[in-house]
Amino acid sequence: MKRTHYCGELREAHAGQEVVLMGWVQRRRDHGGLIFVDLRDREGIVQVVFNPEQEPSAHELAGKMRPEHVIAVQGTVALRPPGTENPHLQTGRIEVWAKGAEILSEAKPPVFPIEDEIETAEDVRLTYRFLDLRRFPLQRNLRLRHRVYQVVRAFLDRHGFIEVETPVLTRSTPEGARDYLVPSRLYPGSFFALPQSPQLFKQLLMVSGLDRYFQIVKCFRDEDLRADRQPEFTQIDIEMSFIDREDILTLMEALIAELFEQAAGILLPRPFPRLSYTEAINRYGLDKPDLRFEMELKDLTDLLRGSGFRAVAEPLAVGGWAKGLNTKGCGGSSRSELDGLTDFVKGFGAKGLLWLKVTTNGLQSPVAKFFQPDVLHGIQGRLKGEEGDLLLVVAGEPIVVSEALGRLRVKLAQDLKLIPEGEYRPLWVIDFPLLEFNEQEGRWAAVHHPFTSPMDEDLPWLDADPEKVRAKAYDMVINGQEVGGGSIRIHRREVQSRVFERLGIGPAEAKAKFGFLLDALEYGAPPHGGIAFGLDRLVMILSGASSIRDVIAFPKTQRAQDLLTKAPAPVEPAQLRELHLKIAL
RNA sequence: GGGGUCGUAGUUCAGCUUGGUUAGAACGCUGGCCUGUCAAGCCAGAGGUCGCCGGUUCAAAUCCGGUCGGCCCCGCCA
């Protein structure tokens, strides 16, 4: 027998046709006489009818069919008798009258039901991922992911980008995430590293004159996992020569807009708004603001400076900030709800959370007595507090205040269901700082990466006031998720050396670890820049998945294990000897 | 490294506070009956290392300590 159709594609128009179907038994309804088998393949489900009076041998075989058996059926497509149509099935107006059948493969009962909505524990699903992937929602996500590959490749090809593969076995470089290492057999004691991104290779390809490069590429970072983070993930990696920031933002916006439209029928509002890093932090507290709702942060520093409340006055006296937001209509919040919010902001380093309820008799708050009436009035005015509102204020170090209130803003919007379904709000965040001071290591570190170009006009500040130097870097953010980021790169050797120096990477170390890049910059490097998108996160947004594991065929657990293959696993002593490795636990 | 939460038939859960009969339910599974069902129906049956280790106790799924694992978060992720 040779398959002629997919189960899920049959419609009324096929009535009367002879078909051969192959697939998995979804369910069998055995009436003693008639047997109904729901047959499933990747396109859907169709009902097959086995009639003992018409085809006794096929009917007898149908009696042996069990869920998830793989079978072949030969039969005739027929309109269902009136009154027996099933409106829940795409194929529900027809059925297949079986003339012959074959069991191609028997199956043990599945560990969990193969249905759209299941509540099976995720470790069971991951251990039997091949069964989990039979379920329609995951197949839909994988097919959406496939569409993403195709749309991206078509767009970039049309715009002159050349797809190039870069090495997976490469060298470890300082800065950035922890590397996955691969021991070298031929060079005892030396290691390859799996790339955290093909950053340096794509820059070298620009020096080589490729002009426009892209790659859909796996990247590896040995850091702890989250709902949107896996140790191996996929980037859409892009680099262009002889362009400025504007060229990249415009073209990449077009790429993402086309992707959303063609892969998921979503029309993104264009042009994407642009926010400077500073403005994003000031208004939303985070560098990846969710624009689907308001509730902006307001600065209260000037109002609260010199207040009698030490918990506020002290941080402000040493350069801290006080900011607040208005939770509309939440003035009735209970003490335990407010305690919960306080615990939440403390999780991000805030010392506490001031709350003020707007009532008919003015502001009600345990700390109201510490503030002059005009200060209270000022807070209410600036936060536009109306009766029934809840005003929340945090004071402290600027980054702590921003992050705590920024995260609180998102949490409140989720809890209060202020986030509209089916809305997509992209934006660019630009003008990031080039450097940030790493307290732990007591040195300046690159916010983006060490090859990011400083703004030309900020270059003089590099040594005197590093904090002031802005980078030619940009992030694309959609619905509060960072989906991509990039920069214009340094293409002049002397600038790269100065940045390395600022990062505490001396000439000798730079030569040892990035010599190839510095060399390349001395042999005619074009001005260039690029971007990398997190493909998994884009597919998450497009599919509405809440976990990155739902858009990856074979993901790892939060402890970075593959429950299906049981990787990582110990290896034979002989393998270790070959690699000149000893295990020291 | 830290915080939270969950762990009992194949699956999803109840039982755990207040220790004490044979650890239950639903779905699934097996057998039988049944000719228009689509969560088919009816009857019967099988199925348990209560995550693991230790402690308390006459007695532990239940109390205590530890440990392992899933998920969420902080740190981390240029």
pLDDT beyond 90 at A194: yes
- Number of helices (H), then strands (E), belonging to chain A: the values are 17, 22
Concatenating the DSSP letter of every residue in A467-509 gives GG-BBSEEEEEETTEEEEEEEEBP--HHHHHHHHHHTT--HHH
| pLDDT one-digit tens code per residue, A247-277 | 999 999 999 999 999 999 999 999 999 999 9
Nucleotide of closest approach to A83 (CA, C1'): B36
Q: Answer for A444: CB within 7 Å of strand B.
A: no
How confident is the model at residue A337, as a pLDDT?
A: 86
Nucleic strand B under 7 Å from the C-beta of A65: no
> Per residue in A538-554, pLDDT tens?
999 999 999 999 999 99
**Residue A105 CB in 7 A reach of strand B:** no
Q: Is the pLDDT at A321 greater than 90, yes or no?
A: yes
Is this complex scored with an ipTM above 0.90?
A: yes
Is the pLDDT reported for residue A175 higher than 90? Answer: no
Q: Which nucleotides of B are covered by protein (CB under 7 A)?
A: 1, 10-13, 27-30, 33-41, 69-78
> Which nucleotide lies at the shortest CA–C1' distance from A229?
B77
Is strand B less than 7 A from the beta carbon of A565? no
**At residue A519, does pLDDT exceed 90?**
yes
CB within 7 A of strand B (chain A, 17-46): 27, 29-34, 36, 38
* Distance of C1' in B14 from CA in A563, Å: 29
Q: Which nucleotide is nearest to A119 (CA to C1')?
A: B12
- Separation of A412 CA and B17 C1' (Å): 34
pLDDT of A395-452, one tens digit each?
999 999 999 999 999 999 998 999 999 999 999 999 999 999 887 778 889 999 999 9
Mean pLDDT of A370-379: 91
Strand B reaches within 7 A of the A109 CB: yes
pLDDT at A438: 81
Task: Give the nucleotide nearest to A195 (CA→C1').
Answer: B78
Asked whether residue A347, judged by its CB, lies under 7 Å from any atom of the DNA or RNA strand B, the reply is: yes
Structure confidence by residue, pLDDT tens digits, A549-573: 999 999 999 999 999 999 999 999 9
Please give the protein residue whose CA is closest to the C1' of the nucleotide B78: A176
Q: How far is CA A136 from CA A72, A112, A140, A146, A557, in A?
A: 21, 14, 6, 15, 22
Cα A92 to the center of its chain, rounded Å = 37
Give the nucleotide with minimal C1' distance to the Cα of A349: B74
Residue lying closest to nucleotide B73, CA to C1': A226
Confidence category of residue A174, pLDDT binned at 50, 70, 90: confident
pLDDT band with cut points at 50, 70 and 90 for residue A307: confident
User: Read out DSSP for A160-175?
Assistant: T-EE----SSB---SS
* Eight-class DSSP state of A248: H
Closest residue by Cα to the C1' atom of nucleotide B36? Answer: A84
Q: Say whether the CB atom of A402 is under 7 angstroms from strand B.
A: no
The residue among A199 and A369 whose pLDDT is bigger is A199
Asked if residue A67 keeps its beta carbon closer than 7 A to nucleic acid strand B, the reply is: yes
CA A562, C1' B51: Å apart? 19
pLDDT at res. A111: 95
Nearest to A36 by CA among A73, A10, A88, A2: A73
* Nucleotide at minimal C1' distance from the A127 CA: B70
Query: Is A425 near strand B, with its CB below 7 A from some atom of it?
Result: no
pLDDT, tens digit, for every residue of A109-165? 999 999 999 999 999 999 999 999 999 999 999 999 999 999 999 999 999 999 999
Residue-wise pLDDT tens digits, A329-360: 999 888 888 988 998 999 898 999 999 999 99
Q: How far is the CA of A346 from the C1' of B2 (A)?
A: 14
Residues of A (293-332) placing their beta carbon closer than 7 angstroms to any atom of strand B are none
**CA separation for the pair A126, A552 (Å, rounded):** 11
Gap from A337 CA to B15 C1', in Å?
Answer: 32
A559 C-beta less than 7 Å away from strand B: yes
Percent of chain A with pLDDT over 70: 100
Q: Which helix (H) or strand (E) holds A216?
A: strand A212-220
| Measured CA distances, A323 to A83, A277, A304, A316, A542 (Å) | 65, 17, 10, 11, 34
Q: Is the CB of A107 under 7 A from strand B?
A: no
SS3 A554: coil
Report whether A337 contacts A416 (CB < 8 A): no
Q: Which nucleotide is nearest to A80 (CA to C1')?
A: B36
- pLDDT per residue over A5-14, tens digit each? 999 999 999 9
H/E element, A528: strand A528-534
For A88-122, write each residue's pLDDT tens digit: 999 999 999 999 999 999 999 999 999 999 999 99
Q: Which of residues 146-185 of A touch strand B (CB under 7 A)?
A: 175-178
pLDDT at A441: 78
pLDDT computed for residue A309 by the predictor: 85
Q: Alpha-carbon distance A390 to A403, whole Å?
A: 19
* CB-based contact A34:A50 (threshold 8 Å): yes
Task: Determine if strand B comes within 7 Å of the CB of A348.
Answer: yes
- CA closest to C1' of B74 belongs to A347
What residue ranges in A129-199 does DSSP mark as E strands? 162-163, 181-183, 191-193
Q: Which of residues 221-280 of A touch strand B (CB under 7 A)?
A: 221, 223-229
